[in-house]
Chain A
């Protein structure tokens, strides 16, 4: 900082936006990479890479100890279907966690919404669409209620949803009289059990690849339009070919067993929508700000109450969706369905780097986390590891993963 030298601003200052000062130390030129930039990108992406590596490590270990059974298309198809329920919940859970809140009631909500969906079929003889809408509406209304209690009445969400964990399970037990009801509508079951034909899978994959290509080219055009350096040919090729190859492999593996599972289709659709909301909308950005510094967000004109209530509504509705998938997959609704699912969903978010203090976490990470947690379940079940050991292993891995992350951050 040079002292003694008088600095003059263009007096038409801000509104005119006329830049008379060409400042040398303004290192904010497009395309320029500096030490600090790289540092930040690595900090944010290290966690994602670590998650991918950890997942790969777990898969390799399970492949070895199961003599390859783990990696067979049949098991992978199973694994990804099992991920669907936790995955759908994690997408909503990560939003709630990013906003600095928590929801412990989702497991009970999965049970209740699934139960309601089946009861309206068996008792009231409602059709497919009506029963689906009922389940989602139950989740949405309960989410709205819990969000309202948290945001407007200002009861901590931990308490509100701890109460919900008990109460909604109680309601599920009450309306079912403790009985298990089979799903009546076949199309409903299909949502949890059926597969798309291989041809449909290929069409879907092609559409996905086409969409990726289109969006990469479009953002490249936008870069040019805004006067930024456009990506080179190699860069473009990588940005298109890597996801395309992954999609191709994914479809091929699923098709070599039974096809693309419908619950996975639902999950991936929700995950993409969730990632878009969190990354590309003002709503998502506001959630990160609210979780990162609620006072700064409030004073910047962001309505904390509506945003927090909205996230609980989203998670509630997604719990309804998860309840449908869960019930459809099992083929019946029991009073204990979905027990402890909230912990899997929270673990999935946290293991992928979401902080319970709020302000950090990604939908992509939460989905990887869900896949990771389900992989542990799946692999250990393949080897017939007793239940109690599965629980111990999952608990230990969760705590050590977060512990490693915390110590590494402190080290920096």
Chain B
């Protein structure tokens, strides 16, 4: 479909949107527009401001400067409900389905068909069933969401959004958990929608998909617009150059490393969740001193579970052997792992990394408190003295060591989690999505830190959903799919295509 917009009115105009958070300017007069019957892709690095812009559009952040016009009419959304009523629906990256309810109930959540408060179950299921069918989704509306995979849940999220009959649909990384076949299903739905009176904003890291599906592309960089252009007039390299503002090679540190002897070896690791479903099956690998081992895979491939299981933090059943320096160790809780010299920078810094209402200092000393402060009695001055070099080394930018962690920017929080673990002097460090949601500057610093740590002999296992990051930082790359290791690549052999083929289970096109 050829889009020339001059003859049609704009569906959405966002004009000079500026948004500041404590300590950082997330958006700096960003303008964005959307026509109906258009798919407009929004791309940019993590922390570039895509999500913030969409959260303003969706009424999540009611405080901002600038104008939002929908069909020319000035709007200021006070909350999500207000935005939805006006026709703006956002499918966020984080799944928000109620796990205990059925597919149908989730789709009609809050709008369940009823008479005088009494539910009409038949109506609910027949309507939602018809709706799913119309979208080309083969899903049972009576199935419980909890039993479905991440991919199906993602599609239900989209179905739920569409059932609200939006005129503007925002999809934030909708394909993060999808295989190629599922992505194709989604794209078929999106193309069908495009022929109707709807405008779609599509956010993705995967540029191939963006070029496949979008009509126009807007690039955000560090909270500013780095251009809007028709997709057919662009190529991927141009988009990447706009996203990063410089050559990729400058972001990642160059390094020549010689990994040393094996320090950690995993043999036949299996894990089950509480329900007895296997989440890891027969995983074996080794990690060497001074090595960065990348672990790639799609969302839900079992990467986080793998790190959790080794670290003694997995709540379900585990079997297999863990060897450190060729000696078998038993790790039943995180304290055991820490005693073995491991550290674990977890994926979700707010949920499992930091105690948000405590100070920078308390958070930094959480792991190594007894070592740096005192076994039985704490000494604040000792803690300050012990953390000072790390604060400088990692460039932790906080007004004071007594600043509350919650008020810091994402990048600083991430460094704080890193500092917490480095203070305990680990020999083996697990990093789970260490750059998620941090700005590009902090990202670059974190890359530098990882590189230096490996240089100093630390063994690093790096889980990341950003393939370029894994490819650039790792000495060796493992690929996981559905709880199994499906590939291993040396740095030189790893290409994005080969790694993705292992991650999705699809053969390489020959």
Neighbour of A28 across the interface among B311, B375, B391, CB < 8 A: B391
- Complex-state Cα separation, A91 to B333, whole angstroms: 31
Interchain CB contact under 8 A, A19 and B441: no
Q: Which stretch, B133-141, B164-172, B272-280, B450-458, touches the partner chain A?
A: B450-458
Interchain CB contact under 8 A, B358 and A289: yes
Q: Which residues from chain B contact A389 at a C-beta distance below 8 Å?
A: none
Q: Which residues from chain A contact B385 at a C-beta distance below 8 Å?
A: 226-227
Interchain CB contact under 8 A, A19 and B392: yes
> Mask for A184-203, Cβ within 8 A of B = 1, else 0?
00000000000000000000
Neighbour of A292 across the interface among B344, B351, B357, B425, CB < 8 A: B357
Interchain CB contact under 8 A, B441 and A293: no
Q: Which residues from chain B contact A227 at a C-beta distance below 8 Å?
A: 385
Which residues of A from 259 to 291 have beta carbons under 8 Å from B?
Answer: 280-282, 284-286, 288-289
Q: Which residues from chain B contact A37 at a C-beta distance below 8 Å?
A: 399-400, 402-403
Q: Give how many A-B residue pairs fall within 8 Å (CB-CB).
A: 175
- Complex-state Cα separation, A320 to B351, whole angstroms: 38
- Is B8 located at the chain interface by the 8 A CB criterion? no
Known: A292-B357, A293-B355, A298-B313. A11 touches B455 (CB 8 A): yes
A interface: dominant SS: loop
Which residues of A from 25 to 46 have beta carbons under 8 Å from B?
Answer: 25-28, 30, 32-37, 40-41, 43
Known: A21-B393, A26-B395. A3 touches B366 (CB 8 A): no
Residues of A within 8 A of B (CB-CB), count: 60
Known: A19-B389, A41-B402. A293 touches B381 (CB 8 A): no
- Complex-state Cα separation, A103 to B255, whole angstroms: 56
- Complex-state Cα separation, A360 to B362, whole angstroms: 14
Known: A1-B439, A285-B362, A297-B366. A25 touches B397 (CB 8 A): yes
Interchain CB contact under 8 A, A297 and B355: yes
Q: Which residues from chain B contact A297 at a C-beta distance below 8 Å?
A: 355, 366
Interchain CB contact under 8 A, B346 and A299: yes
Interchain CB contact under 8 A, B422 and A14: yes
- Is A23 located at the chain interface by the 8 A CB criterion? yes
- Complex-state Cα separation, A281 to B370, whole angstroms: 9
Interchain CB contact under 8 A, B399 and A4: no
Interchain CB contact under 8 A, A28 and B388: yes
- Is B335 located at the chain interface by the 8 A CB criterion? yes
Q: Which residues from chain B contact A1 at a C-beta distance below 8 Å?
A: 222, 439-442
Interchain CB contact under 8 A, B359 and A3: no
Residue of B with least CB distance to A9: B452
- Complex-state Cα separation, A25 to B392, whole angstroms: 10
Interchain CB contact under 8 A, A27 and B355: no
Interchain CB contact under 8 A, B399 and A6: no
Q: How far is the CB of B367 from chain A (nearest CB, A)?
A: 5
Q: Which residues from chain B contact A18 at a C-beta distance below 8 Å?
A: 389
Neighbour of B392 across the interface among A26, A295, A302, CB < 8 A: A26
Q: How far is the CB of A181 from chain B (nearest CB, A)?
A: 41
Q: How far is the CB of A143 from chain B (nearest CB, A)?
A: 22
Neighbour of A40 across the interface among B393, B403, B422, B448, CB < 8 A: B403
Interchain CB contact under 8 A, B359 and A4: no
- Is B449 located at the chain interface by the 8 A CB criterion? yes
Interchain CB contact under 8 A, B456 and A14: yes
- Complex-state Cα separation, A43 to B448, whole angstroms: 36
Neighbour of B395 across the interface among A14, A23, A299, A359, CB < 8 A: A23
Interchain CB contact under 8 A, A280 and B335: no
- Complex-state Cα separation, A26 to B387, whole angstroms: 13
Q: Which residues from chain A contact B359 at a C-beta distance below 8 Å?
A: 40
- Complex-state Cα separation, A293 to B377, whole angstroms: 22
Q: Which residues from chain A contact B399 at a C-beta distance below 8 Å?
A: 27, 34-37
- Complex-state Cα separation, A2 to B445, whole angstroms: 11
- Complex-state Cα separation, A19 to B451, whole angstroms: 17
Q: How far is the CB of B150 from chain A (nearest CB, A)?
A: 21
Interchain CB contact under 8 A, A14 and B400: no
Q: Which residues from chain B contact A8 at a C-beta distance below 8 Å?
A: 448
Q: How far is the CB of A95 from chain B (nearest CB, A)?
A: 16
- Complex-state Cα separation, A41 to B374, whole angstroms: 24
Q: Which residues from chain B contact A129 at a C-beta distance below 8 Å?
A: none
- Is B151 located at the chain interface by the 8 A CB criterion? no
Known: A9-B393, A293-B352. A36 touches B374 (CB 8 A): no
Interchain CB contact under 8 A, B404 and A40: yes
Residue of B with least CB distance to A8: B448
Q: How far is the CB of B241 from chain A (nearest CB, A)?
A: 13
Q: Which residues from chain A contact B358 at a C-beta distance below 8 Å?
A: 288-289, 292, 359
Interchain CB contact under 8 A, B334 and A298: yes
- Complex-state Cα separation, A16 to B395, whole angstroms: 16
Q: Which residues from chain A contact B222 at a C-beta distance below 8 Å?
A: 1, 3
> Mask for A44-61, Cβ within 8 A of B = 1, else 0?
000000000000000000
Which residues of B from 65 to 98 have beta carbons under 8 Å from A?
Answer: none
- Is A296 located at the chain interface by the 8 A CB criterion? yes
Which residues of B from 385 to 423 have beta carbons under 8 Å from A?
Answer: 385, 388-393, 395-404, 407, 420, 422
Q: How far is the CB of B377 from chain A (nearest CB, A)?
A: 6
> Mask for A297-308, Cβ within 8 A of B = 1, else 0?
111111100000
- Is A123 located at the chain interface by the 8 A CB criterion? no
Q: Which residues from chain B contact A302 at a C-beta distance below 8 Å?
A: 335, 366
Q: Which residues from chain A contact B356 at a C-beta distance below 8 Å?
A: 292-293
Known: A28-B388, A37-B399. A296 touches B422 (CB 8 A): no
Interchain CB contact under 8 A, A282 and B448: no
Q: Which residues from chain B contact A222 at a C-beta distance below 8 Å?
A: 379, 381
Q: How far is the CB of B342 from chain A (nearest CB, A)?
A: 10
Residue of B with least CB distance to A35: B399
Known: A10-B393, A12-B456. A34 touches B400 (CB 8 A): yes
Q: How far is the CB of B296 from chain A (nearest CB, A)?
A: 23
Q: How far is the CB of A277 from chain B (nearest CB, A)?
A: 10
- Is A228 located at the chain interface by the 8 A CB criterion? yes
Interchain CB contact under 8 A, A296 and B391: no
Neighbour of A299 across the interface among B313, B396, B403, CB < 8 A: B313
The 4 lowest CB-CB distance pairs between A and B, nearest first, are A1-B441, A36-B399, A292-B355, A37-B400
Residue ranges of A at the interface with B (Cβ–Cβ < 8 Å) = 1-4, 6-19, 21, 23, 25-28, 30, 32-37, 40-41, 43, 222-223, 226-228, 280-282, 284-286, 288-289, 292-293, 295-303, 359-360
Give 13 new A-B contacts, CB below 8 A, not counting A14-B453, A43-B404, A359-B355.
Answer: A1-B440, A4-B245, A4-B250, A7-B444, A7-B448, A36-B400, A37-B400, A223-B381, A281-B376, A289-B366, A293-B351, A297-B366, A301-B337
| 11 A-B interface contacts by CB (under 8 A) | A1-B439, A10-B393, A14-B393, A14-B422, A14-B453, A21-B393, A23-B392, A26-B396, A298-B334, A299-B313, A299-B344
